[in-house]
Chain A
Amino acid sequence: MSSWTTVAGVQLEMVERGGGRPILWLHGEEGLDPDAPVLGALAAHGRVLAPSHPGYGHSPEAASIDTVDDLAYLYLDLLAQQEARDAVVIGASLGGWIAAEMAVKSTTGLGRLILVAPLGIKVGDRETRDVPDIWALHPDEVLKLQYYDPARARLDPTTLSDDRLTVIARNREATALYGWEPYFHNPKLRGRLHRVAVPTLLLWGAEDRFVSAGYYGAAYRDAIPGARLEAIPAAGHFPHLEQPDAVAERIRAFITN
């Protein structure tokens, strides 16, 4: 079940679960499944706040918001509104990019940062496509790159409700809004990551064929002081979907340490 909240005049669909220390979950391109097992597992360790970004899920688009930079400020406002202290911020893929942009701006109220296969930085030279162009690949090819087990990720649209299909279409559209150009990155972000002054854990699917741990993950780890990079076995680019228990356990160990 989700509810509604308003942050700085922006309306957000929000899943809230559990109690105690705030755990802000920032979803990626795939959008937020309110029943995602990872959210349930995390709710055992704090109060999970999982908004759908403007344009995703049922959250309306906001005219004033069209970049990841805007989203980072929006969620810093959310933490401030919650009077959060020692909050855990977790972001996956595009959500990891948002979380990283938040942490380079301000770590007020932030206790731990967890980035699950985050996008957002430019690693290679101008002729190296760090992130495969999902809008120039056949959708089946994208699935093969992003999932350890693509067959399980494939959806049959004829079995889904109109509401679910609408959410899928909105998620894709919002992803294009935030990720089209520069393609899933901020050219300045990598050079700013040294500012991240909270303990940071990077989690990466060991079988991520979309952006690999050895190339992209290592560059992220090297840019954030003291960051640790851990692999999740038998998972692709969305380990929280393919191995939710393993992801939740790594997060638990990191935030209770």
Chain B
Amino acid sequence: MRAWFFSENAYHLLPPAPEYDSIRVKLPNRYYDPKLGADLYHRFIDEWLMAEDLGLEIMVNEHHQTATNVNPSAAVVMGALARVSRTARLLILGNPIANRREPVRVAEEMAMVDVYSRGRLECGFVRGVPYEMSAGNHRPTRMMERFWEAHDLIVKAWTTHDGPFNWEGKYFHHRQVNIWPRPYQEPHPPIWITALSPGSAREVGARGYTAACFLTGFEGTKAVFDNYRERRVELGLPAAAADRFAYAALVYTGETDEEGYAGARKLMWYLESNKVPPQFTGPPGYHPIASTVNAMKGITPGIYKMFQNPTLEGLMEHGLVFAGNPDSVHRQIMRMYDHVGGFGQLLMMSQAGFLDHEETVKGMQMFSREVYPRLKELR
């Protein structure tokens, strides 16, 4: 198993929550102090590099118009990391390609990062969370059609080496696609795609990419991985190796259970701070009709109740948080591993909110020294 250090790069120095009604989309940026922001950016880059020194891989993502994540361009921060890191694999999870107006630009940026890093890029494509719709003016309907057309165009741009090709699709038009540079890796960087539903798991499984689940807990993750595997059987394709399955959780390892739980409680800022009014959580067309109907009736699937009033005990019980002393963390990860039929990539959100630099580093050190060696043996 490979483990990735992931930080959302939040700007957590906000006024009390009652003073604003949404942390996303409309929170005025007068609350952002660029001088403090610069210190935070440099601190987060330092932490990624310390993760590399500890043998962990590096993961970044992007969000827009939100204090929960101040990386509106994953390519920019990964460009910096590609220059200053040396050995770690570099995962962007990911590029919200249904929301990017120019997929060819994404192909160019990702090729650049791949060349900068001499072939260490792992390129994720994501649909993007519902709050991105208003933030970027992206139409929430027929998104996956747009997503897959963007994907097809990017892969073709990466793999065409004999001059321009033509693309006049439903959503994107380019008559002369011929990117420079081309990717360092052949035929292109490994592709990851977030899959939160059985339907998208089947699409990803058919293509053999790495499917990543975020905070989907025991049953949600199992459903995604099962559908991925079943789709490959249906298509007569070889079984996927464990590295095609990724699970993201909040992870904090302490010397004692108490220290681990204390770190995890600070990581929970990520869930607790997500104050968002309904118009941004359910843009029409983003969620399937049946889910919208259930939401109107006040029926919330079990795991989402976790997000409304998160408790550490509940989150740990559902497999959204792995925390405690090294043995506890290892045991919790293995419980998930065994439940979902194995996975080869552990995406660890191990910095959030008020977890300070020393605490973040300590959690990483404890994990990498005391837990990771046991996980690396898993195939």
Contacts and interface: CB of A to CB of B under 8 A. Distances in A.
Interface in A127-150: 133, 135-139
B200 interface: no
B277 interface: yes
Interface stretch (B11-19, B49-57, B283-291): B283-291
Nearest to A157: B296
A126 B74 CA distance: 30
Interface stretch (B33-41, B139-147, B304-312, B319-327): B139-147
A190 interface: no
Given A136-B26, A177-B139, A170 B277 contact: no
B28 to A, nearest CB: 14
B171 to A, nearest CB: 10
Interface string B264-302: 000000000000011110011100010011001110000
A136 B134 contact: yes
Interface in B127-177: 133-134, 137, 139-142
B196 interface: no
A3 B137 CA distance: 36
Interface residues of B, number: 22
B278 A139 contact: yes
Interface in A213-242: none
B25 interface: yes
A170 B296 CA distance: 13
B283 A176 contact: yes
A252 to B, nearest CB: 35
A2 B58 CA distance: 58
Contacts of B296: 157, 165, 168-169
A169 B289 contact: yes
B281 to A, nearest CB: 11
A106 interface: no
B285 A177 contact: yes
Interface in A19-77: 66
Contacts of A176: 139-141, 283-285
A166 B289 contact: yes
B139 A137 contact: no
Nearest to A134: B279
Interface of B: 25-26, 133-134, 137, 139-142, 277-280, 283-285, 289, 292-293, 296-298
